[in-house]
């Protein structure tokens, strides 16, 4: 008997956010396929049901698999930023102003920038590394960068963020080692990475007598394929 507790009102988890940017809607097919397979296998889905040590203990499980995903990293220099939001907020439907600065040019930052620029917003991307979207597969990366260029997105790789003022003025050290101030932004979008959301796993491991396993981004942030494989391997060990 398998019971799946889900805090939101639908299946898919972070795939629902990953499928929001342009050219990514096919990702929903993955979660829809896995959802149908789980239903046919007899999994009992309980949506809008947040797991706690108490609620899980009431189910008297023989084993628990935790797949709570990840949380965005919020850098210390964002503390003074006005109207700063995360890329996950934007992909969940949060509104952005006309002039947007995306802090972080990895996969999530670049795809969020494309999403905003496609809506007609003026977008600048600042990335500390010399290459943008370095964590993407090569072919997909090339296509994304071409689309970003065609949308007129201002790309600034090799720029280290030093500080953010109360008026959203961002001081960076550019690729030539010089300090520069970027200003005029209505919205700052933070996309500098994610960290495992393993708080529930730690609580359950301490509170329950049965085996507990963390899978997916909850264990280590990675790709969708890694999360699927991790869940499969965890189930095999039960």
Task: Quote the CA–CA distance of 134 and 126 in Å, as a whole number.
Answer: 14
- The DSSP symbol for 116 reads H
Give the per-residue pLDDT at 56: 98
- At 167 the pLDDT is 85
Query: Which structural domains are found in the chain, ordered by start?
Result: 3-71+195-236 (3.40.50.720), 74-192 (3.50.50.60)
First to last CA, the chain: 12
Q: Which residues contact 99 (CB under 8 A, 6 or more apart)?
A: 121, 122, 184, 185, 186, 187
Give CA torsion, residues 73, 136, 223, 217, to 10 deg: -10
Which two tokens mark 184?
């005029």
CA distances (Å), 49 to each of 14, 65, 130, in order? Answer: 17, 16, 43
- Tens digit of each residue's pLDDT, the chain (238 residues): 999 999 999 999 999 999 999 999 999 999 999 999 999 999 999 999 999 999 999 999 999 999 999 999 999 888 777 779 999 999 999 999 999 999 999 999 999 999 999 999 999 999 999 999 999 999 999 999 999 999 999 999 999 999 998 788 999 999 899 999 999 999 999 999 999 999 999 999 999 999 999 999 999 999 999 999 999 999 999 8
For residue 193, what pLDDT is reported?
94
pLDDT of amino acid 82: 77
């Amino acid at each position: 008997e398998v019971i799946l507790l889900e805090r939101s009102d639908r299946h898919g988890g972070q795939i629902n956010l990953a499928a929001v940017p342009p050219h990514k809607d096919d990702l929903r097919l993955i979660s829809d396929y896995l959802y149908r397979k789980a239903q046919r296998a007899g999994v009992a889905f309980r949506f809008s049901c947040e797991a706690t040590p108490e609620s899980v203990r009431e189910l008297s499980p023989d084993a628990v698999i935790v797949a709570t995903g990840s949380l965005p990293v919020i850098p210390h220099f964002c503390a003074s930023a006005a109207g700063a939001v995360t890329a996950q907020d934007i992909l969940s439907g949060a509104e952005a102003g006309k002039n947007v600065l995306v802090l972080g040019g990895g996969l999530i930052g670049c795809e969020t920038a494309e999403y905003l620029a496609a809506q007609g917003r003026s977008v600048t991307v600042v990335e500390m590394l010399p290459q943008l979207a370095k964590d993407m597969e090569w072919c997909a990366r090339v296509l994304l960068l071409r689309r970003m260029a065609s949308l007129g997105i201002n790309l600034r790789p090799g720029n280290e963020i030093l500080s953010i003022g109360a008026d959203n003025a961002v001081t960076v050290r550019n690729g030539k080692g010089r300090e520069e101030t970027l200003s005029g932004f209505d919205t700052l979008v933070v996309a500098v990475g994610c960290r495992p959301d393993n708080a529930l796993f730690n609580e359950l491991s301490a509170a329950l007598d049965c085996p507990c396993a963390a899978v997916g981004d909850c264990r280590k942030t990675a790709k969708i394929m890694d999360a699927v494989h991790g869940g499969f391997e965890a189930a095999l060990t039960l």
